[in-house]
Structure 1
């Protein structure tokens, strides 16, 4: 069965035709990426995708949206579209659809991912468990968090706002980072550190600690300098970022009672070669009396190039095709 998979973010919307069968996403065809600012509405972008596809679109869709799925009208940050699910039948010609939060879609992608879509990071080099909870977190513009409960051959994706729990410093350097960020923010959540913009927060705090005057700059350029090792302070900030990501991943795994962890998100993919050689693993397991338990958890990185589209289609399959 063909469905339209849609992944709508603040800046871009992605569309693809997917094939689903027996509750699973079985194939994802070539995605089309559009800037949301270049289309007046979801309907206009939908029609543009139909022209690109050169065929009538299926009357079924899995749609992931970067906002809470609450109420009759969905409004995204940095996106001009107003999305009204009640109009999908008339405006998009849909007979059935599944609507999920963007990181909920990532949870569905993790639940249905093939072994080749998961890169081993630390812990036992074993598959994710078929029974139990899998914690999923992904640094990007913010920090997305969800968890997947697998039971008796089925799974449930449980969305949450775990990226907004308090940042807990673990050494004197992180004490200094927290002190500096408290001057800027009323409350310092973990996504102020573990997210794309979080690297600059760390960089500026370390600069102050070193007595360096840091000028405002572009986050993309900072990430590039850090990943390429061209700036010693940026490299130090990146190492601290990886350590904090490990701490946060471990904390969330403890809170969820997880038996496996998956790192997702655009930043996660950029760190695929960095994390295994960083302080991530040591911080992940450094949980006092639970250190040996944490060391037994497999930790993976999802490497599928389009996990949002994959997950949107998988969510439709899980709801409608069993």
Structure 2
């Protein structure tokens, strides 16, 4: 007797990219059959993005066989609804279910999904910044700078792993030296309150670079300025590239400050939850600058530089997540379990 296949849908919707995967479910596991990625800002809202996706031949054919759908979104989630922090898009599980005739729809924070995705990855998917032994069921943290700054806490509840989403990236920025003090004052004149995300994110790197230029700490090269003006160029990515490859002195200084702030924030999160299971650095930026994170440029120095707690933080494993689809993997894991 032929059985109707059971499909699941997973999506990871961020401020820059939106990834989708359709998989065939086998118990609590799945096999991916179809994947597609889009630029989030090519769409006016979430409904337009989802309508476009379901208008494609493969998703349209699979839709009536979907047993579960999980959408990981870059924003806080409550009662099956979310507003994406950096896009303003509204997402509703009930609305998706009603519009597309889906029975099981779940909305989760993107770092909830990323935390679960980490559990799916092989050792080769990580780059080590600090080696240390971790207890088998130690609490871990996952942090990631991209369009925004996400955080999740990976916790063993006695029988299984669970991830607690967090909005710690929107906590108040805390400078650790005089230059960062000046950065805070500079940003405060524009934004009033300054969160960590204003500094530790893709747009944050651009703010750091602009601050250093306006503060008279350097002049950007013509080559860098020209590169930022190319059609489709991402100025933050250009600054990161020029800083990473030491092609522009001001970009180097901006990237150093950014990395130091990133490490300080990661250390604060590790202290907050006693992340003896380790700290995972995800997001779109860290894999691109992983060699700089490793070379003593200040990330681990800022991570561990917590006074009397330096020995504790020096004993925590810190790894960069090199798999860009970690959030999608976590969303698939959730969908397969529904």
TM-score by length of structure 1 reads 0.86
CA distance in structure 2 between the partners assigned to 1:73 and 1:134 by the alignment: 26
Give the number of equivalent residue pairs. 315
Give ranges in structure 1 of 5+ residues lacking alignment: none
Shift of 1:281: 1.1
Q: Is the CA contact (8 Å cut-off) linking 1:60 and 1:96 kept in structure 2?
A: yes
Deviates more, 1:30-39 or 1:161-170: 30-39
Distance 1:79 1:193 in 2: 18
Following the alignment from structure 1 to structure 2, what is the Cα–Cα distance between the partners of residues 83 and 184? 30
Partner of 2:201: helix, strand, or coil? coil
- Provide closer, same or farther for how the CA distance between residues 19 and 288 of structure 1 changes in structure 2, counting only shifts above 3 A: farther
> Using the alignment, how far apart are the partners of 2:90 and 2:307 within structure 1?
47
Aligned to 1:44: 51
The correspondence for 2:298, drawn from 269, 279, 286, is 279
Any idea what SS the aligned residue of 1:221 has? Answer: helix
Bigger mean CA offset, 91-100 vs 274-283: 91-100
1:300 corresponds to: 319
1: CA distance, partners of 2:138 / 2:106:
24
Per-residue deviation at 1:82?
4.6
Find the counterpart in structure 1 of residue 231 from structure 2: none
Cα distance in 1, alignment partners of residues 264 and 76 from structure 2: 26
Conserved in 2, the CA contact under 8 Å of 1:12 and 1:33? yes
The equivalent residue for 1:165 is 171
Residue 73 of structure 1 and its aligned partner are, at CA, apart by: 5.3
Contact 1:207/1:214 (CA < 8 Å) preserved in 2? yes
Gaps of 5+ in 2: 1-5, 229-234
TM-score (norm 2): 0.82
Q: 1:193 maps to which residue? A: 199
| CA pair 85-239 structure 1, distance change in 2 beyond 3 A | same
Match of 2:310 among 275, 282, 291: 291
SS in 2 for 1:148: strand
Give distance in 2, aligned partners of 1:35 and 1:142.
15
RMSD of aligned Cα (Å): 2.8
Q: Does 1:238 align with 2:255?
A: yes
Query: 1:125-162 CA distances to partner (integer Å, 9 max, x unpaired)?
Result: x5x54312111110111111111102435111111110
Q: Which residue of 2 aligns with 1:227?
A: 244
Once the two structures are TM-superposed, the CA of residue 195 in structure 1 deviates from its matched residue by: 0.9
